[in-house]
Amino acid sequence: MGDLFIKMVDLRCIPSSNAMSTGRGGLNRRFIMIEVRNASDRGRAEHGWLSSRHTFSFANYYDPQQVGFSDLLVINDDRVAPGRGFGTHPHRDMEILSYVLEGALEHKDSMGTGSVIVPGDVQLMSAGTGVAHSEFNHSRDDGVHFLQIWVGPSEKGAQPRYQQTSVDAARKRGRLQLVVSPDAADGSLAIRQDTRIYAGLFDGDETASLALPEGRFGYVHVARGSVTVNGVTLGEGDGARIRDERTLTFSAGRDAEVLVFDLRPLEVTADWA
């Protein structure tokens, strides 16, 4: 397992709330700090029908330095063979987001919900007091590639619920579109946590910026392609923890699809299990 890398960009012209003291004279220099999680360092699971990469500790993969970030607990990058999938299994007290990149994912749950989600769809299941569900590749011919994301809820024992929306590519092209928020702003799905999730597509000279409220944490996950964030280039599967920065600027994309998380300023959420 590789080490985490801290990439720093010297800021002589860009203001930052971070300051580092260097040298005997205590000279203060300002930096943006982006803690990069390289795709190649993620946990791996290979089950024949399933190929999975774990950004954070999950199942048989455990790294004490990778047990989530704030309320963001799981980002699993899953590829499932045709006609295969996850049989019925239970969850409770977890906000579970599915985001399809390629193919079609079939969902059924104990609330009576049945759906097939495809690229552009966003699915959010709030497990609450308990729900059982299954997820299968809807196709008998083609694989499905999707992200499963878990966020710890702000309250336990809530009523289970299911939500789904579709966000077409035009709304994400060269910008960051809000897809999940605590107050269902701008037609986004309502999550039971102080978390906002944005999706964006970037290529060529497209650029966009996202303002983070003072003191908030950010996390960037590059689902595919590559993109530069505040001067740091991230490739497919890479992620980045971001602390104490007020603006994230995305540029120089190469067929990039990104998810951006606006999070509470906690290193790891408390008592989520």
Residue 173 has pLDDT above 70, yes or no: yes
Task: Quote the longest CA-to-CA distance of the chain.
Answer: 67
Residue 1 or 209, more confident: 209
Q: Is 145 annotated as a binding residue?
A: no
Query: What's the CA gap between 219 and 16, in Å, rounded?
Result: 17
Res. 11: pLDDT tops 60 = no
| Cβ pair 72, 195 in contact under 8 A | yes
Alpha carbons within 13 A on the beta-carbon side of 42: 27
At 245 the pLDDT is 87
Is 89 marked as binding a ligand?
Answer: yes
Question: How confident is the prediction for the chain on average, in pLDDT?
Answer: 89
Would you say 245 is a known binding-site residue? Answer: no
In this prediction, residue 269 carries a pLDDT of: 60
Q: How far apart are CA 213 and CA 157, in angstroms?
A: 29
Domains and CATH numbers, the chain: 5-263 (2.60.120.10)
For 9-13, 219-223, 229-233, which range has the lowest pLDDT when averaged over its residues?
9-13
What's residue 159's pLDDT?
Answer: 98
Side chain identity at residue 20, one-letter code: M
Q: Is residue 135 a known part of a binding site?
A: yes
Q: What φ, ψ does residue 92 adopt, rounded to 5°?
A: -150, 150
Q: What is the mean pLDDT of residues 243-263?
A: 97
Write out pLDDT tens, residues 71-80.
999 999 999 9
DSSP 221: E
Q: How far is the C-alpha of 215 from the C-alpha of 41, rounded, in Å?
A: 28
CA distances 85 to 79, 161, 210, Å, are 10, 22, 36
Of the ranges 12-16, 153-157, 242-246, which is most confident? Answer: 153-157
Nearest residue to 93 (alpha-carbon basis) of 132, 128, 124, 125: 128
